[in-house]
Copies of this chain bind each other. A is one copy, B any other.
Amino acid sequence: MKTKTNVLTPQELEIMKVVWERGASTVRDVYELLRKKRKVAYTTVMTMMNILVDKKHLQREKVDGAYRYEPTKPKKQVVGAMVRDFVGRVFDGSARPLLLQLVEDRHLTEADLQEIEQLIEEKLK
C-alpha cells in the first residue's frame, strides 16, 4: 500500500508529538497519555504506531520483552516538511502570503512580533 503524501495525518501527528516529547516509548506509554485527552483503544494506538513504523516515522526495538518505539527523524525536520507541504498546497509554495496573514492575523503578541522583527533584522544584516 502506497501513501499519497509523505506527510503526517492528524492522528499520526498526535502520536508523533507524544513520542517526540517523551522519547522512546511503549504503546502503553502513548496510550495512557492520549487516553487522558480522549477515548481511544489500546489497539488503535498500536495500529497507528505500527503504521508509523511502516512509514518510517518510528522505529522499534525490543527492550526487556516489550517494544519501544522512537522517532526516526527529529521533530523539527518532519514539521518543516509539513510546513513546506502546506505552503505548497495552500500558497502555491510562496511563504510570503502566509507570513503576511500570520502577522496581520492578531495571533501574535507584541513580544512575538518584536522577536520576529529581531530575527528579520539579523537576517537582513
Give 3 closest A-B pairs by Cβ, nearest first.
A95-B107, A96-B112, A117-B120
* Docked-complex contact A101 and B116, CB < 8 angstroms: no
Contact between B95 and A119, CB atoms less than 8 A apart: no
Known contacts A90-B13, A95-B102, A99-B102; decide if A114 and B124 are in contact (CB<8 Å).
Answer: yes
Known: A90-B79, A117-B117. A124 touches B99 (CB 8 A): no
A28-36, A40-48, A59-67, A81-89 - the one binding chain B: A81-89
Q: Give chain A's interface residues, CB within 8 Å of chain B.
A: 5, 10, 13, 79-80, 82-84, 86-87, 89-91, 94-96, 98-105, 107-108, 110, 112-117, 119-121, 123-124
Minimum CB–CB distance for A107 against chain B, Å? 4
**B87 A104 Cβ-Cβ under 8 A:** no
